[in-house]
Amino acid sequence: MNDDDIQAALHHQQQLEQQEQEVAKVFHLSYCDYIAKRIQDAMDGPDPRNIIIGAGSIKWDLGKNGEFVSTKKHLAVIDKNRKAYKITVEEI
């Protein structure tokens, strides 16, 4: 590998890094999945007051045909009286 090859590789790497930075400015990641999972895990964990029985599965925000609508997530939590609560995680 000669100096020209090394310089070209370095230039290419710099271009890739600039593109990644530009994409990061435009697209801000959403962590609805992660937050919903953390809530689910907490609700399924031990409850010192024995009020929460557990959480259901995480539901995605999908359209009538199953298409992706948004990053919003829902899950149900059940208390000791078998009453259900809906928790929604939605970016604002």
Same domain for 69 and 90, yes or no, is yes
Same domain for 68 and 54, yes or no, is yes
pLDDT of residue 22: 72
CA distances from 52 to 55, 74, 80, 86, 87 (A): 8, 17, 6, 13, 13
pLDDT of residue 26: 64
Q: How far is residue 40's CA from residue 78's CA, in Å, rounded to a whole number? A: 11
Q: How far is residue 92's CA from residue 89's CA, in Å, rounded to a whole number? A: 10
Same domain for 19 and 59, yes or no, is no
Q: Does the pLDDT value for residue 20 go beyond 80?
A: no
Q: Does the pLDDT value for residue 2 go beyond 70?
A: yes
Same domain for 44 and 82, yes or no, is yes
- Residue 71 gets which letter from DSSP? E
pLDDT of residue 25: 62
Which residue has tokens 């009020």? 51
Same domain for 45 and 62, yes or no, is yes
Same domain for 59 and 89, yes or no, is yes
Residue type for position 22: E
Domain count, the chain: 2
- Please give the residue range of the domain that contains residue 85: 31-92
pLDDT digits (tens, 9 = 90+) for 25-72: 666 778 999 999 999 999 999 999 999 999 999 999 999 999 999 999
Residue type for position 36: A
- Against a cut of 0.95, is the pTM above it? no
